[in-house]
Amino acid sequence: MDKKMLFIFNPKAGKGKIKTRLLEIVDVFNKNNYEVLIHSTQYPKDAYQKAKDYALKVDLIVCSGGDGTLDEVVAGIMAEGSCVPVGYIPAGSTNDFANSLFMPKDMVEAASMIMEEQMYHCDIGRFGNQIFTYIAAFGLFTDVSYETDQDMKNILGHVAYILEGMKRLFEVKSYHMKVISEDILGNGEETEVEEDFIFGMVSNSRSVGGFKNLTGKNVDMNDGLFEVTLITKPKNPLELQEILAAILKEEDNTELIYSFKTKKIQFESNEEVPWTLDGEFGGEHRQIDIENRQQALNLYLKSTKKI
């Protein structure tokens, strides 16, 4: 008997290139005895709802699009408490998650890789009552990905994020926050810091915004730990220069940036702080708890590089 697959794709992602490869991709699936139900996303959260509807009815859910599409599919599956495997064919403008896992860039190759059905158990995150696949962030530039027009993303790639962000470089807002975590100071104990932050991210990724190693060079995608980066508000141009130099050199050699690993972390603020989850708006929150759900995502993945 044929296995059943739900194949969800975003027709606008990555200049719509999936439209020229769709028949080849489906042919790969059919040759591997999958009966394929195809769904083209029509509106925001459509992928979430469709994945939720079929999470307990199919043997595999494959999605193609950007990281936001993947985020919706994973969240839909988790909402049903399903363990159905996921396949991902990256087609977005940045594809941080796919790059972090060294997935094939060619869409048909990615489909063939999924059909080898080699399981990789990947960490994901819990953000309050929501799920994210690889990053939760606030502050500087984090709204760029969900405010930048899709057509602009397609034309410019991640240059679009930079251009949109540069417009507001001198309008940087900081948030006074208390951050409580297991290992902020590197001593393995629960500690807390209270600072004015212009940026913060909790991630499980080797690539953020298309820039590799921003989260550190020793990232393990299924170790149960997040990589956390918190950038304090510079008090003068020299401190700003120090922060920029540390980011560009990918070296945590300044006391103006907190960088550490943790399983759980809590953020508290006296004002509503807007967050982004995998490039999509994650709401505004005064307090939020974030927890790593170790190896909760069953991902069909075969990689030639060490993950």
Q: Which domain holds residue 83?
A: 3-120
Does 127 reside within a domain? no
| Alpha-carbon dihedral angle through residues 266, 270, 276, 282, given to the nearest 10 degrees | 90
User: How many structural domains compose the chain?
Assistant: 2
| pLDDT for 171 | 59
Q: Do 173 and 291 fall within a single domain?
A: yes
Does 246 reside within a domain? yes
Last residue of a domain, one of 120, 142, 173: 120
Q: Which of 38-42, 57-61, 68-72, 233-237 has the lowest mean pLDDT?
A: 233-237
Q: Do 86 and 162 fall within a single domain?
A: no
Q: Do 32 and 143 fall within a single domain?
A: no
Does 304 reside within a domain? no
| pLDDT for 212 | 43
Residue 33, number of CB atoms within 10 A of its CB: 11
Looking up tokens 């960088």 gives: 259
Q: Do 74 and 171 fall within a single domain?
A: no
Encode pLDDT of 94-114 as tens digits: 677 888 888 888 999 999 999
**When comparing pLDDT for 162 and 243, which is higher?**
243
Last residue of a domain, one of 59, 89, 120: 120
Does 303 reside within a domain? no
Phi and psi, residue 305, nearest 5°: -110, 155
CATH number of the domain that residue 21 is part of: 3.40.50.10330
Q: Do 90 and 47 fall within a single domain?
A: yes
pTM of the prediction?
0.81
CATH number of the domain that residue 159 is part of: 2.60.200.40
Q: Do 114 and 137 fall within a single domain?
A: no
Q: Do 45 and 162 fall within a single domain?
A: no
Q: Do 60 and 115 fall within a single domain?
A: yes
Last residue of a domain, one of 98, 120, 142: 120
**To the nearest whole number, what is the mean pLDDT of the chain?**
82
Q: Which of 4-13, 30-39, 225-234 has the lowest mean pLDDT?
A: 225-234
Mean pLDDT of 83-89: 96
Mean pLDDT of 190-217: 72
Q: Do 178 and 277 fall within a single domain?
A: yes
Does 178 reside within a domain? yes
Encode pLDDT of 130-184 as tens digits: 999 988 989 876 554 544 455 544 444 444 444 454 444 445 788 999 999 976 6
Q: Do 43 and 137 fall within a single domain?
A: no
Maximum mean pLDDT: which of 67-81, 195-209, 246-260: 67-81
Q: Do 154 and 236 fall within a single domain?
A: yes
Does 126 reside within a domain? no
**When comparing pLDDT for 262 and 255, which is higher?**
262
Q: Do 170 and 108 fall within a single domain?
A: no
Give burial (CB, 10 Å; 0-12/13-18/19+) of 259: middle
Residues 6+ apart with CB under 8 A from 43: none
